[in-house]
Amino acid sequence: MRILFATGNADKINEAAQILKELGHSVEQLMSEAERIEFDEPKNLGLEGVALSKIEQARAMIEGTESADCAILVEDSGIFLDAYDEWPGANSSDVEQELGLDGILDLLTEEQDRGAEYRAVAVLALGERVWKTSGVCRGRISAEKLGDNGFGYDPIFIPDAGDGRTFGQMLAASKNLISHRRAAMQALAELLKTPSK
């Protein structure tokens, strides 16, 4: 299936395209007229609420255009710190900009629980039909920033399913085998195989 991913985040597109290609789907970026998608992200709705809001906004964007018959994908994701009652969650992007990764590391003292997880919610709409899936990647926050690969919190996130390196130290292909995005996209590909009633 040809899928248009409504996001302005090039890293997310690259990862989703690589994952979904293996599963038989092609992913392209859905361009807004300004060639850059900016969503109005409602606060306090959680990942799922934000993802569902994004899909409505994306549908409104393509109404009446040649993309109106295409499958549209949106995704909302974030990191959840065990020591901070799952904060920053859906606000991960804002918090990353405000504090930086050094600021996050400063918040976690040696005694604190360094457990964390990435979560992603993916929503795909085709006409009136909507599919929703989610994925989780458990791990912990490293003592220091390590590696330049990936994006966002990757230099300070050590996945449990890895070999002790941060996502920032891993190649995209390795991250994409075990990431929260992988789990959400794979679940989506499974749902798309099931014929609709």
CA distance 159 to 161: 5
Shortest Å distance, C-beta 40 to ligand IMP: 12
Give the residues lining the site for ligand IMP (CB under 6 A): 9, 41, 76-79, 92-93, 96, 118, 150-154, 179, 181
Q: Which CB, 73 or 76, lies closer to ligand IMP?
A: 76
CA torsion sign for 93, 97, 101, 107 is negative
CA distance 28 to 151: 19
Shortest Å distance, C-beta 92 to ligand IMP: 3
Residues 11, 69, 76, 85: which is the catalytic one? 76
Q: Which residue is nearest to ligand IMP (CB)?
A: 152
Q: Which CB, 68 or 136, lies closer to ligand IMP?
A: 136
Q: Which CB, 134 or 154, lies closer to ligand IMP?
A: 154
Shortest Å distance, C-beta 151 to ligand IMP: 5
Q: Which CB, 38 or 69, lies closer to ligand IMP?
A: 38
Shortest Å distance, C-beta 22 to ligand IMP: 17
For the question of residue 106 being annotated catalytic, the response is no
Supply the residues annotated as catalytic: 76
